[in-house]
Structure 1
């Protein structure tokens, strides 16, 4: 007799529980309030504009989501003082609004150094991290964040 694949895992799990076998917990991608997500931005203003819309929609659907935006390369541009979207709308208001809803913005120090940009040119909501790509990896591997790239 063959067990359908979708039922195989359930059967193994039930058998393990019945036998008292300890099961290893997989990293959780959810907090008590909602899912944990890292948005990865490295492509500049158009990508940032898409991300802002995506994050607003995300929070509308899951208000308890824990969202961290990690930027490097051209992805930091929307977090620089005076940055505007293509139609000329400043990003500052959107950044402040999202930060007020718990969204964190992290900026790669390697990018700042290579582009000779002082950290005081960043939006006040931005936090500098040593490496953007290392931050994305850490959030995924060690903190259970799921990855999104708008």
Structure 2
């Protein structure tokens, strides 16, 4: 009986863990070419696991793809892909420290973004307080 109860408990814990959504924070602090690949990675992740919760946190040069009219090396604007991913529940967070240091007015940001006081602090908070998995593509 004990063995059956233990097996049942294990199966229940496994089922609960499998049913929980995966939460992922993508840390972006590199140029726009890397950002293009990261957006593709996020699309691929959502195609494989549509219920995943994804937050993209940017700072330094990583904020550049979230500026109005930002384009990749092939001349494609990021706004359409960012908008499509935001429509699928992806959150895009921009570091206020970067905006201040680089003198970027928040009016230049895509409307799908939100500003956090510190990008690195937000990454740490999401991992430590909210159980997000860290990805640095």
Answer whether TM exceeds 0.5 for this pair: yes
State which of 89, 92, 99 in structure 1 corresponds to 2:79.
92
Q: Over residues 71-109 of structure 1, what are the superposed CA-to-partner deviations in whole Å (9 max), with x where a residue is unaligned?
A: 000000000010011111000000000000000000000
**Number of residues paired by the alignment?**
123
**TM-score, structure 2 as length reference:** 0.86
State which of 67, 70, 74 in structure 2 corresponds to 1:80.
67
SS of 2:130's equivalent in the other structure is: coil
Gaps of 5+ in 1: 1-13, 18-28
Q: In the aligned structure 1, how far is the partner of 2:42 from the partner of 2:89? A: 11
Gaps of 5+ in 2: 1-5, 10-16
Q: In the aligned structure 2, how far is the partner of 1:52 from the partner of 1:43? A: 13
More helix by share: 2
Superposition deviation, residue 131 in structure 1: 0.1
Q: In the aligned structure 1, how far is the partner of 2:45 from the partner of 2:81? A: 14
Whether the aligned pair in 2 keeps the contact of 1:66 and 1:102 (CA below 8 Å) is yes
Distance change in 2, residues 1:31/1:68 (3 Å):
farther
SS of 2:115's equivalent in the other structure is: strand
Q: In the aligned structure 2, how far is the partner of 1:59 from the partner of 1:30? A: 16
The equivalent residue for 2:30 is: 43
Alignment of 1:51-130 (within 5 A): 51-130=38-117
Which ranges of 4 or more aligned residues in structure 1 deviate by more than 3 Å? 29-32
**TM-score, structure 1 as length reference:** 0.78
Query: Which of structures 1 and 2 has the bigger CA Rg?
Result: 1
Whether the aligned pair in 2 keeps the contact of 1:72 and 1:132 (CA below 8 Å) is yes
State which of 107, 114, 119 in structure 2 corresponds to 1:132.
119
Output the aligned Cα RMSD. Answer: 1.6
Whether the aligned pair in 2 keeps the contact of 1:39 and 1:67 (CA below 8 Å) is yes
State which of 129, 132, 135 in structure 2 corresponds to 1:145.
132
